[in-house]
Structure 1
């Protein structure tokens, strides 16, 4: 098995070893596949998920049978929903050993969260079972969990040729629909091109920029594709819950929205309110199951984002725009230029005790190196980093929120840091979420990663406080004593400081000046009474129904 995975160019394996998966982890390491020992299985999968998304390489994770797999299942659900190509090697009890303490129906558990269960059938079929699992993970972009029964895993395998995987070219899009999309874009007065994660995977950013220029369109991304148009002056940023009001108004005025690798979720469309009722909606995706899965669309076009955009661009160039005017004019340019002022036009709630999280982010954006990767955890704070912390490109953004889970941020940051060691990785996390993943702070330190961890510390699960407090409910069950994360960081060998005011960032500034070596934790004591704008709007929509 290990030889087959090595032959298939497995890049790395993240895991927590136990008696049922130790053999495979040790064999992989012996063959030169790098093994990263995590402190918790959920973090191990989150690391692998992020590494796979950022590197594009075959990535492995490995967990013990039964409780090892159940510990990992939240991150497996995230990877599965995000369609991350990932192979999880899960130990399992011997075939038929239903009385083992470790026994559960692993296939049913895996299937229940949307991942693909596979299983070693015999020692003779083990290599082909591995190759088939890798093939499914890579070609279908699925998270596959390969269960390895102990009796089979410890049996000698006969020599067998290893079937190598062949890359398949992307399918050609329907030429008739390509021409129709081009016609509609050319005729539109206010076109908008939306890029999702599928556009990032296809490396479609440059060609989408050219297409937008050809048809006078504005550009936007989903939350997961943030950074793809970082250098495009006609980009309005993220479409959805993190949109600034002025940008949301531009989206609502668009008469055609063409999504490349984007599924138009309720989050991206603000439950449909961001797209005008008479606007034409076109969806382009390489996965037929995602076409029209979130909302009705006028045209559903099956195709790779980059290949399809190239063909639409050629068709649009042949049609030409004639006298039709698009978005790119002085009025729109003025609106786009006003974004920075819009972001800074808030009432600063900083005191000597608390720093306003928006003020914190503005200071960090200016202080930290621009070549960075932001890993954003889930929680009430999550809307501030994408608004106030700039990223250089799509590789500079990692947001594991397909399952809307809190607590995957540290694992995500470690995986991203290993995929992009040349950049500073900046983890943004809430205090509650960071406590969930704290076991792997030591892992980040041991790996000598270049990482700045920013904890938005308000001593609570703030989303619940801000949702249920105004409704008259007691919030004591969602609040807790203030945790000194800076002290915890220092205990692991990292650097750390408590930040209540801008002047408290002096030590971080010195760390940056010395090259950002090692792990530095900013324990930012933010104002607990401040409700984020994006969250307040989400609650308004929720309680309006």
Structure 2
């Protein structure tokens, strides 16, 4: 059996259903081996960046590694942005990258760059196959490492000369990653810390969603009756109408919850990734921290850990909930929650019919059910979505907030739809991000997928325009021209509509949601 046949057997053994990528000369043998698999569907995409974004979002929702591949040189470097995005957002991804044969790696050679050195800074683990019999062990380690907390990206570089070598090896057994929980001594220490302070404030991070600990987190919040906030990527853990929900934090400007946070005397930080927002930005008063996470705390002066509970978050919270914790009800001074709701425009019944992104988001909330997955691209609209949109469940809103790379929304919608075929999927993208990976609409159409694409059409990089206007009084280098998106949609063979008012959008969104078996693009021209 040749090496690439063994790789495919290993991938089947890992439960892989899809591989996203573009085949190049160095990966022809792997393509041939994949063609014989009855389990794995290879999805040939239009750009390697899109392949990595698809694997990223697929892995986040499916709770198992998404897999992508590319050839050497430009294929590998195209993959890099999506791999880095998965790594910083802690999405499990395994990448297979073709490489020149070993015999070409000692001298200057066509399309050869050291891919291990290129990929190492943006992966948890990266290696090059150096001996064909090691393939099963390498593949097993890549998947195991990608899945372990905190999840991330791994990469296997496959030199061309190994692909067709004959080896007898079989896949290694897939064993579950062991789950650890804190000792009861630590649990009791955490209880004593909670008893000691009068004004705890919960900070909820994406680790709560990754480890499926939302029910246990809600129980803890209900027991203590203390206020709570979410990071961008943790939205949906608490229901919108939960009395202790103070919504979202992590904004560069107008982060209204921070004064309330600074009134706390204890921060209970659960599953929070510093990549979303450093503690120096939200804990300037150096309030003591109860750290609950899968990994030990990264301590510094703005993150003064008094007690830490390290282990599986779900099981840790189960143990903590069994300790008869005292109630700690309190509210920040003033009418902070109502102020946040007003400024962040969380009230969908204001009667204001201006076609703003906030009203557009309220329309989406009104017409969608709890299974809907919304994917936000990166730009000014991401901030609005993080403030205003309230998902009805964990992972109901997918935001890239680590690398925060434009272009993730359309390929991400493909990954989301493959991971959750029955869920309605809506991606919201600015015209800058849309044009980066618009070609993947062809991929989605070819696969027979259905989802909604909302393009915010203003012919500019709006966030950069806003920032330059504030700093310099004018903007430069951030404007461009757009195609006719409706005609572009039709050229892909999908539905395209234009919405120029909120009434238009409401009607078109209903039509799009009813067209559940096709891709539907809505071109919007929002009012300022």
Q: 1:166 aligns with which of 170, 175, 183?
A: 175
| Residue matched to 1:327 | 330
Give yes or no for contact 2:356–2:526 (8 Å, CA) kept in 1.
Answer: yes
Contact 2:452-2:512 within 8 A present in 1 as well:
no
Give distance in 1, aligned partners of 2:70 and 2:214. Answer: 36
Pairing partner for 1:211 from 196, 201, 220 = 220
Q: Tell me the secondary structure at the aligned position of residue 117 of structure 1.
A: strand
Query: For residue 291 of structure 2, what is the aligned residue in structure 1?
Result: 283
Q: Distance in 2 between matches of 1:256 and 1:410?
A: 40
Give the direction of change, closer, same or farther, for the CA distance of 1:136–1:516 in structure 2 (3 Å limit).
same
CA contact under 8 A between 1:262 and 1:283: conserved in structure 2?
no
1:189 aligned residue: 198
The secondary structure found in structure 2 opposite 1:477 is coil
Query: Is 1:387 the counterpart of 2:387 in the alignment?
Result: yes
The residue aligned with 2:120 is 111
Q: How does 1:456-475 map to 2 (within 5 A)?
A: 456-472=456-472, 475=475
Among 316, 319, 333, the residue aligned to 1:311? 319
1:60 aligns with 2:60: no
Gaps of 5+ in 2: 1-6
Q: Determine if contact 1:65/1:92 at 8 Å carries over to the other structure.
A: yes
5 Å-filtered alignment, 1:334-345, equals 336=337, 340-344=341-345
Instruction: Measure the CA separation in 1 of the matches of 2:519 and 2:513.
Output: 14
Cα shift readout 1:124-145 (whole Å, capped 9, x = no counterpart): 2222222232222223533111
1:503 and 1:82, CA in 2 relative to 1: closer, same or farther beyond 3 A?
closer
Give the match's secondary structure for 2:102. coil
Say if 2:287 and 2:304, in contact at 8 Å, map to a contact too.
no
Write the distance in 1 (CA, Å) between the matches of 2:482 and 2:398: 27
Which residue, 18, 23, 30 being the options, matches 2:29?
A: 23
User: Which residue of 1 is the match for residue 268 of structure 2?
Assistant: 258
Q: Which residue in 2 is equivalent to 1:94?
A: 101
Pairs within 5 Å for 1:478-489: 478-489=478-489
Structure 1 gaps of 5+ residues are 531-545
Q: Contact 1:285 / 1:291 at 8 angstroms: preserved in 2? A: no
Against the structure 1 CA distance between its residues 169 and 327, is the aligned structure 2 distance closer, same or farther, given a 3 Å change threshold?
Answer: farther
Deviation by residue 1:24-44 (Cα, 9 ceiling, x = unmatched): 234234222122221110010
**CA offsets 1:181-222 (integer angstroms, 9 cap, x no match):** 212223332222222111111111111111122222223221
* Corresponding residue number in structure 2 for 1:536: none
Counterpart contact for 2:226–2:328, Cα < 8 Å:
no
Q: CA RMSD in A?
A: 2.8
1:4 to 1, 10, 13: 10
Candidates 59, 71, 78, aligned match of 2:78: 71
State the partner residue of 2:400.
400
Q: Is the 8 A contact 1:263 1:293 kept in 2?
A: no
Change (3 A) 1:245 1:149: closer
Q: d(CA) in 1 for partners of 2:447 and 2:161?
A: 34
Cα separation, 2, equivalents of 1:294 and 1:129: 40
Judge conservation of contact 1:234–1:336 (CA < 8 Å) in 2: no
| Residue number in structure 1 paired with 2:43 | 36
1:142 counterpart = 2:152 = yes
In structure 2, distance between residues paired with 1:515 and 1:345: 28
Post-superposition shift, 1:95?
0.3
Change (3 A) 1:490 1:294: farther
- Aligned-pair distance for 1:294? 9.4
**What is the distance in 2 between the residues matched to 1:211 and 1:38?**
44
Structure 1, residues 488-516: CA drift from partner, whole Å, max 9, x if none?
11211111122221232265145246343
Contact residue 375 and residue 428 of structure 1 kept, 8 A: yes
Query: Helix, strand or coil for the counterpart of 2:207?
Result: helix
Pairing 1:126–2:135 present: yes
The 8 Å contact of residues 235 and 390 in structure 2, kept in 1 or not, is answered as: no
More deviation, 242-251/118-127: 242-251
> What is the TM-score of this pair, normalised by structure 2?
0.89
Alignment correspondent of 1:500:
500
Are the structure 2 counterparts of residues 223 and 185 from structure 1 closer, same or farther at C-alpha, using a change threshold of 3 Å?
same
Q: 1:293 to 1:77 in 2, by over 3 A?
A: farther
1:510-532 CA distances to partner (integer Å, 9 max, x unpaired)?
524634331111111124xx5xx
Task: State whether residues 76 and 115 of structure 1, in contact with CA within 8 Å, keep that contact through their aligned partners in structure 2.
Answer: no
CA 472–235 in structure 1, closer or farther in 2 if over 3 Å, else same = closer
**Residues 391/106 of structure 1: CA separation in 2 closer, same or farther (3 Å cut):** same
State how far apart, in whole Å, the 2-side matches of 1:135 and 1:145 are: 12
Distance 2:185 2:369 in 1: 47
Give the equivalent residue in structure 1 for 2:305: 298
Summarize the Cα distance change of 1:401–1:475 in structure 2 as closer, same or farther, 3 Å threshold. same
Distance 1:477 1:137 in 2: 39
Return the offset for 1:408: 1.7
Please state how far the C-alpha of 1:53 moved relative to its aligned partner. 1.0
Contact residue 361 and residue 384 of structure 1 kept, 8 A: no
Give me the TM-score of the superposition, normalised by structure 1.
Answer: 0.86
Q: Which digits, 9 at most, give the CA deviation of each residue in 1:300-329, with x for residues without a partner?
A: 3322211221222223x1xx53xx752279
| Shift of residue 339, structure 1, vs aligned partner | 5.5
Match of 1:431 in 2: 431
**Larger CA deviation: 480-489 vs 424-433:** 480-489
Residues 94, 262 of structure 1: alpha-carbon distance in 2 compared, 3 angstrom cutoff: same
Deviation at 1:432, TM superposition (A): 0.6
Alpha-carbon distance in structure 2 between the residues aligned to 1:244 and 1:305: 31
Asked if 1:83 is matched to 2:121, the reply is no
Aligned partners of 1:149 and 1:291: how far apart in 2?
37
